[in-house]
Amino acid sequence: MSESEARPSNFIRQIIDADLASGKHSSVHTRFPPEPNGYLHIGHAKSICLNFGIAQDYQGQCNLRFDDTNPEKEDIEYVESIKNDVNWLGFEWSGEICYSSNYFDKLHGFAVELINKGLAYVDELSPEQMREYRGTLTEPGKHSPYRDRSVEENLALFEQMKNGEIEEGKMCLRAKIDMASPFMVMRDPVIYRVRFATHHQTGDKWCIYPMYDFTHCISDALEGITHSICTLEFQDNRRLYDWVLDNITIDCQPRQYEFSRLNLEYTVMSKRKLNQLVTENLVSGWDDPRMPTISGLRRRGFTSASIREFCKRIGVTKQDNTIEMSSLESCIRDDLNTNAPRAMAVLDPIKVVIENFGDTETLTVANHPNNPEMGERQIPFSREVYIEREDFREEANKKYKRLVLGKEVRLRGAYVIKAERIEKDAEGNITTIYCTYDSETLGKNPADGRKVKGVIHWVSAEAGLPAEFRLYDRLFTVPNPGAADDFVSTINPESLSVVKGFVEPALKEAVAERAFQFERTGYFCADSKDSTPEQLVFNRTVGLRDTWAKIAD
């Protein structure tokens, strides 16, 4: 495969190709700049794959930078989780981790430079007044009465803000741009505010903190970023990005490029809404397997390769669209179908007694039907086994290929059995199925030519291990919960079902993130928090087939 075929093409890569060809840049330097105020989600994975992928393909560099300008909402927990997520997705950042807080001294200096140039002023309007003065999309704003303060007065007041002599909310520093601009972001935006909050990196050194839009472009320039890639909601902010860099003394001036963010059906991507789900205990945490966070998907059993493949398939465009959940699930199915070993688990057990069977045998079964390199495993086969309750009927038509009273079926990797009689409780529920087995059918068809079409899975009742199975579904009942007046009201009450059954003994040491295909049931992995060899807990990653579309119809 040629290099051009190996690389996914998109408009950003075309821009980079042109910049390198023209000599505008001799190398490529990107960055992934999350704010450490929450866990990363699948939308961030798209940006990670884009920025780090470009750096890899062009033998360039990609920084991991925390845009940590709001200490009230940020936490070292989020910093660590983001580092782990980037590594888990398969990427390494260039050099040391960067923090915008590393540049606070320089940012302060640039703010002073703008004041000296008459391009920034200290304002005393209240937040409510500031909104009133800003105007609307159809009406221009009006100047603050503090806009024409002298440079000397602005410098003195800004110094008082820095020294902690001004209360929160009483003053802020604003850029002096254009209150009549058609772009609201250019109507004298706030670039510094007073916050008496301890910062996770700088402690209590500062009580003024720069705003994101002022910080972000300067951080890019200080790091020598060539292509600053962000999502479309920052398109208007590009004007402020360029204005700041045009009006300060700095050598590098990156360009910002925007692409469409990822919208995924049946979930929300807003950090605020995700945080609400966590803080109101509507989910078990940021890594709840129903969450679209990278840590939640990882705990559910999604592989990093499947997420990278998903990001590759959906591509990079300027077109806003919503991706079907089935697209993400298709990527993990394709991955696990090839790479997940097979195992047997019974989620809704009913006991089968094989009356003519003697002592326990040890059977050898392939770990993957199409991959001999995955090897084999030993499974105990005993007189009593569990099968799925849905795999038996007293009566059934010819389309039913499982166990029927008076008929035969094959147990996976074992013998052909025939259901002879059943036992029921007082309510009429079947409690036990009594069978006989054909001892000559291990690994071969019955000698007299009888055709047995059905194959069902099973677990030895004697050696099987009890396990809890968590069956996850979509977290919301509507495709676009974020558009609802109250998105919480659209939470799917059946997004998690917990059942108890049995697994084959080889799964006692199952480790988190090692997925298995439980035959005829789905793909599962041991829960990274709650599963132990003494109490196994398995999360269903995804079913074997996409049944949601049929249910939704």
Average pLDDT, the chain: 95
| Ordered DSSP codes for 197-219 | --BTTTBTS-SEEE-HHHHHHHH
Binding residues for L-glutamine: 67, 212
Tens-digit pLDDT profile for residues 495-547: 999 999 999 999 999 999 899 999 999 999 999 999 999 999 999 999 998 76
- Interior angle at CA 507, CA 506 and CA 508, nearest 5: 95
- CA pseudo-torsion sign 297, 320, 213, 190: negative
Q: Domain for residue 529, yes or no?
A: yes
Between 552 and 1, name the one with better pLDDT.
552
CATH number of the CATH domain containing 213: 3.40.50.620
The predicted structure's pLDDT at residue 549: 55
| Ordered DSSP codes for 265-292 | TTS---HHHHHHHHHTTSSSSTT-TTS-
Place of tokens 């579904």: 473
Question: Is 39 in the same domain as 159?
Answer: yes
35 catalytic, yes or no?
Answer: yes
The predicted structure's pLDDT at residue 6: 54
Place of tokens 């700088």: 202
Question: Is 451 in the same domain as 478?
Answer: no
Helices (H), 443-495: none
Q: How confident is the model at residue 3 (pLDDT cuts 50, 70, 90)?
A: very low
Question: Is 47 in the same domain as 195?
Answer: yes
Mean pLDDT of 143-166: 98
pLDDT at 1 over 80: no
Instruction: Count the domains in the chain.
Output: 3
Tens-digit pLDDT profile for residues 303-332: 999 999 999 999 999 988 899 999 999 999
Question: Is 18 in the same domain as 103?
Answer: yes
3 catalytic, yes or no?
Answer: no
Q: How confident is the model at residue 9 (pLDDT cuts 50, 70, 90)?
A: confident
- Tell me how far CA of residue 228 lies from CA of 92, 216, 242, 263, 550, in angstroms: 18, 10, 12, 21, 42
Of 31, 35, 176, 298, the catalytic one is 35
Question: Is 334 in the same domain as 391?
Answer: no
> With DSSP H G I counted as helix, E B as strand and the rest as coil, what are the percentages for the chain, rounded to 5?
30, 25, 45
Binding residues: 35-37, 41-47, 67, 212, 231, 261-262, 269-271
Asked whether 419 and 340 are in contact (CB, 8 A), the reply is: no
Percent of the chain beyond pLDDT 70? 97
Tens-digit pLDDT profile for residues 76-123: 999 999 999 999 999 999 999 999 999 999 999 999 999 999 999 999
- Interior angle at CA 547, CA 545 and CA 553, nearest 5: 150
Asked whether 232 and 262 are in contact (CB, 8 A), the reply is: no
Whether pTM exceeds 0.85: yes
Name, in order, each residue with C-beta under 8 angstroms of 129's C-beta and a sequence gap of 6 or more.
none
pLDDT at 551 over 60: no
Q: Domain for residue 179, yes or no?
A: yes
Q: Domain for residue 80, yes or no?
A: yes
Of 73, 83, 239, 261, the catalytic one is 261
Please give the residue range of the domain that contains residue 102.
3-261
Report which residue type is found at 59: Q
Tens-digit pLDDT profile for residues 432-488: 999 999 999 999 989 888 889 899 999 999 999 999 999 999 999 999 999 999 999
124 catalytic, yes or no?
Answer: no
The predicted structure's pLDDT at residue 215: 98
Burial (Cβ within 10 Å: 0-12, 13-18, ≥19) of residue 547: exposed
- Tell me how far CA of residue 390 lies from CA of 40, 150, 347, 445, 524, in angstroms: 39, 82, 10, 24, 19
Binding residues for ATP: 35-37, 41-47, 231, 261-262, 269-271
The predicted structure's pLDDT at residue 7: 62
The predicted structure's pLDDT at residue 295: 97
Tens-digit pLDDT profile for residues 356-414: 998 899 999 999 999 999 999 999 999 999 999 999 999 999 899 999 999 999 999 99
Tens-digit pLDDT profile for residues 224-235: 999 999 999 999
Question: Is 179 in the same domain as 35?
Answer: yes
Of 149, 193, 271, 377, the catalytic one is 271
The predicted structure's pLDDT at residue 164: 97
Asked whether 174 and 189 are in contact (CB, 8 A), the reply is: yes
